[in-house]
Amino acid sequence: MSTPLIALSIRGLAKRFGTKIAVDGISLDVPAGSFFGIVGPNGAGKTTTLSMATGLLRPDFGTAVVHGVDVWAQPLQAKKLMGILPDGVRLFDRLSGEQLVTYAGLLRGMDRDVVAARVGELLAALDLSQDAGTLVVDYSAGMTKKIALASALIHAPKILVLDEPFESVDPVSAANIRDILDRYVATGGTVIVSSHVMDLVQRMCDHVAVIAGGRILAAGTVDQVRAGATLEERFVQLVGGRSQTEGLEWLRTS
């Protein structure tokens, strides 16, 4: 294929909070069927960019188009195509895990029987079956992340946008989630993840974008971006800000 299908196309997205410019004109094309990583230091604008691309936060400038549907002109159609795991938002945590995922399905107008079947499978795949009836408020941080992921998957979206999906998730569950996402991508789905963990992104993703200070510093396939070095080395090189580790002489124990 000469021109790959574009799943998510962002053009000139920008957002300002008060005097601070959080996102300063970001443009990005995410090819369909790709596993796309977005990395950046704290406060780089990752969450703000993803929120604007998914219809959760209205941008000051710019557009976001999902499979040909403008997110801000036709929000209801665009949101049908997307599964979203936002970072740092609460859940309706007085529902049981099972109720929460069912709620997410019914809110999207799905059929009751389809929802029930999928909820069972999702909870089993994410190792939450034993706690399906427990209230989400009593879940651990990792379990909460997993139940939010299940809520994002229930309607079989064409594109998944996951903000920090592996935070406080145990290694076994993380491996399970990676398997689910790999299979999802293999069958033509598109996944966008943001993360701090460079190793994970390098192993898992085929495309990556490095964001800092509200701008894109590099974007492309993982091999293009890391240019022979590891992704972590390249990231530090691009972003800068490593402090020299002199001083603290007294901390040596010998």
Partner 1 sequence: MVAHLLRLKLTLLRNGLRRSPWQLVGLAFGGLYALFIVGMCVVLLVLLRQQDPGLAQTVVVLGGSAALLGWGIVPVIASAVDMTLDPARFTTSAVPMPQLLAGLALGGLIGLPGLATSIVALATVVTFSRGVLPAAGALVGAVLGVLTCVVFCRVVTTATSSLAASRRFRDVSGIAFMVPLVLLGPITAGIFQGMAGSGAFLSDLAGRISWTPLGAAWSLGGDLEAGRPGTAGLKLLIAAATLAGLSWCWKLLLERALVTPPYSGSSRRKGGRLGLFSLLPATPAGAVTARALTYWFRDPRYSGSLVVIPLLPVVLAFQGSQTNDYGVLMITGPLTAFLLAWSISGDVSYDNTAFALHVAAGVRGVHDRLGRALACLAFALPTVLILAVVPFFIMADWAWWPSILGMSVGVLLTGLGLSSVVSARYTIAVPLPGDSPFKKPPGNVGQTLAVQFGGMGVLLVLVLPEAGLVLAQVLTGDPLFGWINLALGPVLGTALFIVGVRLGGRWLDARGPELLAQVTVNR
Which positions lie near partner 1, rule CB under 8 A? Answer: 54-58, 75-76, 78-80, 82, 84, 86, 88-99, 102-104, 106-112, 115, 120, 123, 129-135, 137-138, 151-152
Q: State how far the Cα of 123 lies from the Cα of 131, in Å rounded to an integer.
A: 9
Burial class (CB in 10 A: 0-12, 13-18, 19+), 17: exposed
In angstroms, give the least distance from the CB of 131 to partner 1: 5
Count of all residues that appear for the chain in the document: 254
Nearer to partner 1, 38 or 115 (CB): 115
Smallest gap from Cβ 228 to partner 1, in A, equals: 39
**Closer residue to partner 1 in complex, CB, 126/217:** 126
Q: Which is nearer to partner 1, 21 or 238 (CB)?
A: 21
- 2 by Cβ neighbours in 10 Å (0-12 / 13-18 / 19+) ranks as exposed
Residue closer to partner 1 by CB (options 34, 48) is 48
Q: Least distance from C-beta 38 to partner 1, angstroms? A: 18
- Compare residues 54 and 194 and give the one whose CB is closer to partner 1: 54
CB of 101 to partner 1, least distance (A): 10
Q: How far is the CB of 23 from partner 1 (least distance, A)?
A: 14
